[in-house]
Amino acid sequence: MQDDFYIGYLKKAPSGLARFVRVASAIVFAGVLAVGALAALGQHLLPRGVFEYGVTTELEGEVVAGAVPRIVVESGSHPVLSPGVAVVLVGEGKRGAESLLPPGGVARARVGGTLIHDGTSVMLEVHEITPRPAAGDAATPGEFNGGEERTIEGELVDTKCFLGAMRPGRGKVHRGCAIACLEGGIPAGLWVKDGNSEEGHLVFIANDEAYRSQVSPEWAGLRVRVQGRYTVLDGVRTIYVREATRL
C-alpha cells in the first residue's frame, strides 16, 4: 500500500488525504466556536448605566448644597424623572458641583446639564445654574435627620463613572480614574452586593469633614467597611462616616 502523496499542480488531492483535511478542518472550526462561546459566557455583562452625552436636560426645583449635592425636581421632561425625585449633581469632568451651587444650602434654581443614570439612581453633570424665584408651596428638602447606626461593606466607587459616565465604572481596571474623580470632588459611594448575586445597590457617602479624614481616594476600587449613621436624603441612600477601614 502506498501512502497518499499530494502534488501541488494536481487538480485534486488523493481521496484519503482530502478526507483527513475535511475532518481536521471541521474539528478545528468546531473547537474555535466552542472556545469563543465559553469565553463569551465567562464575561460579565457591562453595567446598564447611561451617559446622555450631547443631550441637554433642564430641571427646575430645590437645589441642596449638602452632604450629597442634589436637586429635588419640581419640573423636567425625561422618562427617568418625576416630581420629587432627587438628582445628584456633579461638575463637568472630574469635578464636584460644590463651587457651582448657590450659597446658603438650599435655593430654587433651574439647572441644565447632562443626565447620567442606571435605572436606580440619577445624576446630572451641571453645565448651568440659573436662580429662580422661590415657590411658596415647595417643601424644603431634607438633610441629615439622625438616621440609624449601620456598618456597611462594599467597593468604594466614584459615583459619576459608576452610574454611567464610564463603562466599566468600577473594579481595579477603573481605579486610576476613580481616584482622580474622588480627589476632584465627585461624590463617593459604596457599591454593596445583595447576597451572593452580582446585583447590588449604591450607598452615597456624605461629603463632609469626617468622610475626608477617614476615607482615602486611594481606596477606590477596593473593598471598604464604613461605620456611621445611615439615612435617606430625598430618596438618596446616604451614610455619614464615623469610622472607615480598608478591607
In a domain, 111, yes or no: yes
Query: Is the per-residue pLDDT at 205 higher than 90?
Result: yes
Residues 237, 162 share a domain:
yes
Looking at residue 189, its pLDDT comes to 95
Residues 238, 166 share a domain:
yes
**Which among 131, 162, 197 is the end of a domain?**
131
Range of the domain at 209: 148-246
In a domain, 33, yes or no: no
Cβ atoms of 71 and 87 within 8 Å: the answer is yes
Percent of the chain, pLDDT > 70?
Answer: 84
If DSSP states are collapsed to H, E and C, what string results for 151-180? EEEEEEEEHHHHHHHCCCCCCHHHHHHHHH
For the domain that residue 175 is a member of, what is the CATH number?
A: 2.40.50
Beta strand residue intervals within 7-56, DSSP E = 50-51
N- to C-terminal Cα separation, the chain: 71
Residues 238, 160 share a domain:
yes
pLDDT digits (tens, 9 = 90+) for 6-55: 666 667 777 777 788 888 888 998 889 888 877 766 665 555 778 888 88
In a domain, 187, yes or no: yes
In a domain, 85, yes or no: yes
Looking at residue 235, its pLDDT comes to 86
Residues 229, 152 share a domain:
yes
Bigger pLDDT: 58 vs 170: 58
Residues 224, 152 share a domain:
yes
pLDDT digits (tens, 9 = 90+) for 94-136: 999 888 887 767 788 889 999 998 878 889 999 998 887 765 5
**Which among 96, 131, 166 is the end of a domain?**
131
In a domain, 36, yes or no: no
In a domain, 44, yes or no: no
CA quadruple 21, 24, 30, 35: dihedral sign = negative
- How much is the mean pLDDT over the chain? 83
Residues 172, 124 share a domain:
no
Looking at residue 24, its pLDDT comes to 87
Residues 158, 73 share a domain:
no
Bigger pLDDT: 168 vs 152: 152
Query: Is the per-residue pLDDT at 211 higher than 50?
Result: yes
Looking at residue 206, its pLDDT comes to 93
Residues 162, 93 share a domain:
no
Residues 241, 174 share a domain:
yes
Alpha-carbon distance 231 to 100, whole Å? 25
Residues 119, 56 share a domain:
yes
**Which among 76, 96, 131 is the end of a domain?**
131
Alpha-carbon distance 58 to 78, whole Å? 9
Query: Is the per-residue pLDDT at 4 higher than 70?
Result: no
In a domain, 42, yes or no: no
The phi-psi region of residue 200 (left if phi > 0; otherwise alpha if psi is between -120 and 50; otherwise beta) is beta
Residues 242, 205 share a domain:
yes
Alpha-carbon distance 176 to 7, whole Å? 59
Looking at residue 241, its pLDDT comes to 94
In a domain, 119, yes or no: yes
Alpha-carbon distance 13 to 40, whole Å? 37
The residue-averaged pLDDT of 203-210 equals 92
Cβ atoms of 230 and 148 within 8 Å: the answer is yes
Query: Is the per-residue pLDDT at 157 higher than 90?
Result: yes
Residues 225, 163 share a domain:
yes
Looking at residue 149, its pLDDT comes to 93
Instruction: With H, G, I as helix, E, B as strand and everything else as coil, classify residue 218.
Output: helix
Provide the number of structural domains found in the chain.
2
